[in-house]
């Protein structure tokens, strides 16, 4: 596994399901908590964050997540967060990311949507120049805040329309927040040319995924963890090759699944589903995209070629233009070829 770990560490990667605030590194969270000391429960000591980021269930995760969101109070905070996210992605050889940004929570903190867009676009240019990371945005509705959050999110998406914006999403708790509540908002976003990428089937069953597909016209499914419970849904996803944004460690940490051994990823692949590997809220779950590929390689018994195929799934499922997709695919293929030439190929099987 040592050789395969080294291969994964250097592998050019694409990240499709990762949250903006949820990507705040312990370094960034500590700096923000110290900046706002006395007005937050988030510890400024990086060593204490591991305990703080230990979740009893999905509801507890949302509570902690919102406490970190509350640390972003100014455009300076926002710039620090976004820059650190870009730097951490670059360190993992991530070349392209579709980052999920939640305008409403920043709006509640007093950051106007035009200021949010100005900051993230500024960092997008810096990330490309300094790190070679292409950053794109998905504006997502935090479902727990209901219709007011959808109003602000759609207004930000269509009114501000930053150059890097590609998609329109829906996150937060699924229980008690039906996908259909937000159908009209997705209709308007899709009509304006944005891609539909809601969360579905993470903490609820297959019906939520069906609703995302039929009501929100989802082009990718965020998580889709419980899709295997409905054979007709599995057949539908396989036939149409609708991508699933799978995040194994996230699912274990939020108790959506009990353990890696019980994760449905192997059954998804066996059923012919198009899966991509993602990190969701990596520092909060003590993971990285690199580690998620290691987890996937172990669960699927993959060799280097199989891991590279998974990486190319993410390229294919992205909303990047054809030129960018071709460039990313070629870089992955060249990396695989060069490592195969220079060292023995790790044992395992291919996902192709």
Is beta strand 244-246 parallel, antiparallel or unpaired with respect to 195-200? unpaired
Kindly list the distances between the CA atom of residue 150 and the CA atoms of 76, 113, 181, in Å, as whole numbers in the listed order: 25, 13, 10
Q: CB count, 10 Å around CB of 109?
A: 16
- Give the integer Cα–Cα distance in Å for 84 and 68: 15
> What tokens were used for 297?
């390689």
Catalytic residue flag (residue 202)? yes
Instruction: Report phi then psi at 157, rounded to 5.
Output: -65, -45
DSSP 8-state code for residue 349: B
- Among candidate residues 174, 202, 245, 292, the one labeled active-site is 202
Q: Could you give the residue ranges of the DSSP H alpha helices within the chain?
A: 2-10, 26-35, 46-52, 58-69, 75-91, 103-108, 113-126, 147-155, 183-191, 206-214, 231-240, 248-253, 265-270, 289-300, 304-317, 322-342
d(CA 146, CA 172): 10
Active site residues: 202
């Amino acid at each position: 596994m040592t050789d395969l770990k080294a291969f994964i560490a250097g592998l050019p990667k694409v990240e499709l399901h990762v949250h903006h605030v949820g990507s705040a590194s312990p370094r960034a969270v500590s700096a923000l908590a110290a900046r706002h000391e006395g007005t937050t429960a988030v510890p400024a000591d990086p060593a204490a964050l591991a305990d703080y980021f230990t979740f009893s269930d999905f509801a507890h995760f949302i509570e902690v997540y919102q406490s970190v969101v509350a640390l972003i109070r100014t455009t300076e905070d926002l710039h620090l967060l976004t820059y650190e996210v870009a730097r951490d992605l670059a360190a993992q050889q991530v070349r392209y990311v579709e980052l999920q940004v939640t305008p409403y929570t920043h709006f509640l903190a007093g950051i106007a949507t035009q200021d949010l867009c100005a900051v993230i676009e500024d960092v997008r240019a810096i990330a490309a120049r300094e790190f070679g990371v292409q950053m794109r945005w998905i504006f997502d509705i935090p479902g727990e805040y209901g219709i007011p959050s959808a109003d602000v999110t759609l207004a930000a998406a269509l009114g501000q329309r930053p150059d890097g914006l590609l998609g329109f999403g829906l996150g937060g708790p699924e229980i008690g927040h039906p996908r259909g509540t937000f159908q009209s908002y997705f209709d308007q976003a899709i009509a304006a040319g944005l891609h539909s990428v809601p969360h579905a089937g993470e903490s609820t069953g297959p019906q939520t995924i069906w609703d995302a597909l039929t009501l929100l016209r989802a082009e990718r499914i965020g998580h889709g963890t419980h899709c295997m419970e409905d054979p007709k849904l599995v057949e539908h996803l396989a036939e149409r090759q609708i991508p699933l944004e799978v995040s194994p460690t996230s699912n274990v940490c939020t108790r959506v699944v009990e353990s890696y051994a019980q994760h449905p990823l192997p059954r998804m692949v066996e059923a012919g589903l198009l899966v991509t590997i993602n990190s969701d809220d990596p520092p909060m779950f003590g993971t990285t995209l690199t580690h998620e590929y290691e987890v996937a390689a172990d669960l699927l018994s993959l060799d280097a070629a199989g891991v590279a195929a998974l990486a190319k799934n993410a390229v294919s499922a992205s909303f990047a233009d054809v030129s960018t997709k071709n460039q990313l695919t070629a870089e992955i293929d060249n990396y695989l070829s060069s490592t195969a030439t220079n060292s023995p190929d790790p044992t395992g099987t291919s996902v192709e």
